[in-house]
Protein backbone atom coordinates (compact mmCIF):
# COMPACT_ATOMS: atom_id res chain seq x y z
CA UNK A 1 0.00 0.00 0.00
CA UNK A 2 2.78 2.42 0.99
CA UNK A 3 4.75 1.45 -2.10
CA UNK A 4 1.77 2.22 -4.34
CA UNK A 5 1.28 5.63 -2.68
CA UNK A 6 4.99 6.40 -3.03
CA UNK A 7 4.89 5.47 -6.72
CA UNK A 8 1.79 7.60 -7.26
CA UNK A 9 3.40 10.56 -5.48
CA UNK A 10 6.59 10.18 -7.54
CA UNK A 11 4.59 10.16 -10.78
CA UNK A 12 2.70 13.25 -9.65
CA UNK A 13 5.95 15.11 -8.89
CA UNK A 14 7.47 14.16 -12.25
CA UNK A 15 4.33 15.29 -14.06
CA UNK A 16 4.35 18.60 -12.19
CA UNK A 17 7.99 19.23 -13.07
CA UNK A 18 7.17 18.81 -16.77
CA UNK A 19 4.19 21.16 -16.41
CA UNK A 20 6.32 23.74 -14.56
CA UNK A 21 8.80 23.85 -17.46
CA UNK A 22 5.93 24.24 -19.91
CA UNK A 23 4.31 26.99 -17.81
CA UNK A 24 7.65 28.77 -17.43
CA UNK A 25 8.04 28.92 -21.22
CA UNK A 26 4.48 30.21 -21.58
CA UNK A 27 5.00 32.93 -18.95
CA UNK A 28 8.30 33.96 -20.55
CA UNK A 29 6.60 34.21 -23.94
CA UNK A 30 3.75 36.27 -22.50
CA UNK A 31 6.17 38.69 -20.84
CA UNK A 32 8.16 39.13 -24.07
CA UNK A 33 4.95 39.74 -26.02
CA UNK A 34 3.72 42.20 -23.37
CA UNK A 35 6.94 44.24 -23.65
CA UNK A 36 6.95 44.12 -27.46
CA UNK A 37 3.31 45.22 -27.69
CA UNK A 38 4.05 48.19 -25.43
CA UNK A 39 6.15 49.74 -28.22
CA UNK A 40 3.54 49.32 -30.98
CA UNK A 41 0.24 49.88 -29.18
CA UNK A 42 -1.77 53.00 -30.11
CA UNK A 43 -1.03 55.84 -27.69
CA UNK A 44 -4.15 56.99 -25.90
CA UNK A 45 -5.10 59.54 -23.29
CA UNK A 46 -8.20 59.82 -21.15
CA UNK A 47 -9.84 58.07 -18.23
CA UNK A 48 -12.99 56.03 -17.75
CA UNK A 49 -13.87 53.61 -14.96
CA UNK A 50 -15.37 51.22 -17.53
CA UNK A 51 -11.89 50.56 -18.89
CA UNK A 52 -10.65 49.57 -15.43
CA UNK A 53 -13.63 47.26 -14.90
CA UNK A 54 -14.13 45.60 -18.30
CA UNK A 55 -10.61 45.62 -19.76
CA UNK A 56 -8.42 45.24 -16.67
CA UNK A 57 -10.35 43.82 -13.71
CA UNK A 58 -12.95 41.47 -15.24
CA UNK A 59 -10.62 39.55 -17.63
CA UNK A 60 -8.09 39.12 -14.82
CA UNK A 61 -10.73 37.69 -12.47
CA UNK A 62 -12.00 35.33 -15.18
CA UNK A 63 -8.42 34.23 -15.83
CA UNK A 64 -7.81 33.50 -12.13
CA UNK A 65 -10.98 31.36 -11.96
CA UNK A 66 -10.07 29.40 -15.10
CA UNK A 67 -6.51 28.91 -13.86
CA UNK A 68 -7.83 27.70 -10.49
CA UNK A 69 -10.05 25.12 -12.20
CA UNK A 70 -7.24 24.02 -14.50
CA UNK A 71 -4.78 23.58 -11.58
CA UNK A 72 -7.27 22.36 -8.97
CA UNK A 73 -5.60 18.96 -8.49
CA UNK A 74 -2.20 20.56 -7.95
CA UNK A 75 -3.64 23.13 -5.52
CA UNK A 76 -5.53 20.49 -3.53
CA UNK A 77 -2.37 18.40 -3.29
CA UNK A 78 -0.24 21.33 -2.13
CA UNK A 79 -2.72 22.37 0.56
CA UNK A 80 -3.19 18.78 1.70
CA UNK A 81 0.56 18.25 2.11
CA UNK A 82 1.17 21.66 3.70
CA UNK A 83 0.93 21.63 7.49
CA UNK A 84 0.28 24.65 9.67
CA UNK A 85 -1.77 27.83 9.42
CA UNK A 86 0.96 30.25 8.26
CA UNK A 87 2.39 27.97 5.53
CA UNK A 88 -1.10 27.63 4.06
CA UNK A 89 -1.68 31.40 4.23
CA UNK A 90 1.63 31.89 2.42
CA UNK A 91 0.58 29.37 -0.26
CA UNK A 92 -2.74 31.17 -0.79
CA UNK A 93 -0.96 34.52 -1.15
CA UNK A 94 1.76 33.09 -3.42
CA UNK A 95 -0.59 31.28 -5.80
CA UNK A 96 -3.00 34.23 -5.85
CA UNK A 97 -0.22 36.62 -6.93
CA UNK A 98 0.93 34.05 -9.48
CA UNK A 99 -2.63 33.78 -10.78
CA UNK A 100 -2.99 37.55 -11.11
CA UNK A 101 0.26 37.79 -13.08
CA UNK A 102 -0.66 34.98 -15.47
CA UNK A 103 -4.24 36.21 -15.93
CA UNK A 104 -3.19 39.79 -16.60
CA UNK A 105 -0.54 38.73 -19.12
CA UNK A 106 -2.92 36.37 -20.93
CA UNK A 107 -6.63 37.18 -20.58
CA UNK A 108 -5.97 40.81 -19.68
CA UNK A 109 -3.64 41.27 -22.63
CA UNK A 110 -6.13 39.72 -25.05
CA UNK A 111 -8.85 42.09 -23.80
CA UNK A 112 -6.46 45.04 -24.04
CA UNK A 113 -5.41 44.26 -27.62
CA UNK A 114 -9.04 43.78 -28.67
CA UNK A 115 -9.99 47.09 -27.06
CA UNK A 116 -7.02 48.90 -28.64
CA UNK A 117 -7.94 47.60 -32.09
CA UNK A 118 -11.60 48.56 -31.87
CA UNK A 119 -10.73 51.84 -30.14
CA UNK A 120 -8.35 52.74 -32.99
CA UNK A 121 -10.97 51.86 -35.64
CA UNK A 122 -13.52 54.12 -33.95
CA UNK A 123 -10.98 56.96 -33.67
CA UNK A 124 -10.22 56.85 -37.41
CA UNK A 125 -13.85 57.65 -38.15
CA UNK A 126 -13.79 60.83 -36.06
CA UNK A 127 -12.21 64.19 -36.98
CA UNK A 128 -8.85 65.16 -35.50
CA UNK A 129 -8.93 67.61 -32.60
CA UNK A 130 -6.23 69.79 -31.04
CA UNK A 131 -5.78 70.09 -27.26
CA UNK A 132 -3.70 72.48 -25.19
CA UNK A 133 -2.61 70.67 -22.00
CA UNK A 134 -0.61 72.31 -19.19
CA UNK A 135 2.61 70.54 -18.19
CA UNK A 136 2.77 69.60 -14.50
CA UNK A 137 6.19 67.91 -14.25
CA UNK A 138 9.33 66.94 -16.13
CA UNK A 139 9.90 63.53 -14.60
CA UNK A 140 13.41 62.21 -15.12
CA UNK A 141 13.97 58.55 -14.35
CA UNK A 142 16.76 57.58 -11.97
CA UNK A 143 16.01 53.84 -12.02
CA UNK A 144 16.90 51.22 -14.59
CA UNK A 145 13.87 50.01 -16.55
CA UNK A 146 11.70 53.06 -15.86
CA UNK A 147 10.99 55.83 -18.39
CA UNK A 148 11.36 59.59 -18.52
CA UNK A 149 8.00 61.32 -18.70
CA UNK A 150 6.41 64.68 -19.32
CA UNK A 151 3.36 64.78 -17.07
CA UNK A 152 0.37 66.96 -17.95
CA UNK A 153 -3.31 67.52 -17.22
CA UNK A 154 -6.03 66.44 -19.65
CA UNK A 155 -9.71 66.88 -18.74
CA UNK A 156 -8.70 67.34 -15.08
CA UNK A 157 -6.92 63.97 -15.11
CA UNK A 158 -3.20 63.26 -14.86
CA UNK A 159 -1.58 61.90 -18.02
CA UNK A 160 1.94 61.56 -19.40
CA UNK A 161 4.04 61.00 -22.49
CA UNK A 162 7.29 59.02 -22.52
CA UNK A 163 10.39 60.82 -23.79
CA UNK A 164 14.05 60.00 -24.26
CA UNK A 165 17.03 61.19 -22.23
CA UNK A 166 17.99 63.88 -24.75
CA UNK A 167 14.51 65.44 -24.51
CA UNK A 168 14.18 65.37 -20.73
CA UNK A 169 17.66 66.88 -20.29
CA UNK A 170 16.56 70.02 -22.15
CA UNK A 171 13.98 70.73 -19.44
CA UNK A 172 16.01 69.65 -16.40
CA UNK A 173 16.09 73.11 -14.85
CA UNK A 174 12.94 74.47 -16.46
CA UNK A 175 9.71 75.37 -14.70
CA UNK A 176 6.95 73.05 -16.01
CA UNK A 177 4.37 75.79 -15.49
CA UNK A 178 6.00 77.71 -18.35
CA UNK A 179 5.15 74.98 -20.85
CA UNK A 180 2.19 73.22 -22.39
CA UNK A 181 1.65 70.28 -24.74
CA UNK A 182 -0.11 70.77 -28.05
CA UNK A 183 -1.72 67.41 -28.78
CA UNK A 184 -3.49 66.24 -31.93
CA UNK A 185 -5.86 63.35 -31.28
CA UNK A 186 -9.05 61.62 -32.40
CA UNK A 187 -11.99 60.85 -30.13
CA UNK A 188 -12.40 57.12 -29.63
CA UNK A 189 -14.37 54.92 -27.20
CA UNK A 190 -15.81 56.22 -23.94
CA UNK A 191 -13.69 59.18 -22.77
CA UNK A 192 -10.49 58.19 -24.55
CA UNK A 193 -8.56 59.76 -27.43
CA UNK A 194 -6.01 58.18 -29.76
CA UNK A 195 -2.97 60.47 -29.91
CA UNK A 196 -1.58 61.22 -33.37
CA UNK A 197 1.13 63.71 -32.44
CA UNK A 198 2.28 66.09 -29.72
CA UNK A 199 4.69 68.99 -29.39
CA UNK A 200 5.89 70.87 -26.32
CA UNK A 201 5.50 74.66 -26.44
CA UNK A 202 6.69 77.58 -24.33
CA UNK A 203 3.88 79.80 -23.10
pLDDT digits (tens, 9 = 90+) for 109-141: 999 999 999 999 999 999 999 999 999 999 888
Residue 38 is predicted with a pLDDT of 85
In DSSP terms, 179 is beta-bridged to: 202
Say if CB 101 and CB 28 are below 8 A apart: no
Say if CB 153 and CB 133 are below 8 A apart: yes
Q: What is the pTM of this model?
A: 0.78
Model confidence at 6, pLDDT cuts 50, 70, 90, reads low
Distance from C-alpha of 173 to C-alpha of 171, rounded to nearest angstrom:
6
Q: Which stretches within 41-134 are classed as H helix?
A: 49-51, 58-70, 72-81, 85-103, 109-124
Distance from C-alpha of 143 to C-alpha of 179, rounded to nearest angstrom:
25
Distance from C-alpha of 96 to C-alpha of 68, rounded to nearest angstrom:
9
Sketch the domain layout of the chain as residue ranges: 2-124, 128-202
Fold of domain 128-202: OB fold (Dihydrolipoamide Acetyltransferase, E2P) (2.40.50)
Residue 155 is predicted with a pLDDT of 87
Amino acid sequence: MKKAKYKQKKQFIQQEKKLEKKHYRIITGLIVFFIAYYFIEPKTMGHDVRYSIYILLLPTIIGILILGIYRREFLIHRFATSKGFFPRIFLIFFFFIQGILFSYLSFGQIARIGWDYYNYRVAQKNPEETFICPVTEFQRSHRSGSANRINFKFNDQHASVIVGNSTIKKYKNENPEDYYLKIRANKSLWNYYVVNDWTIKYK
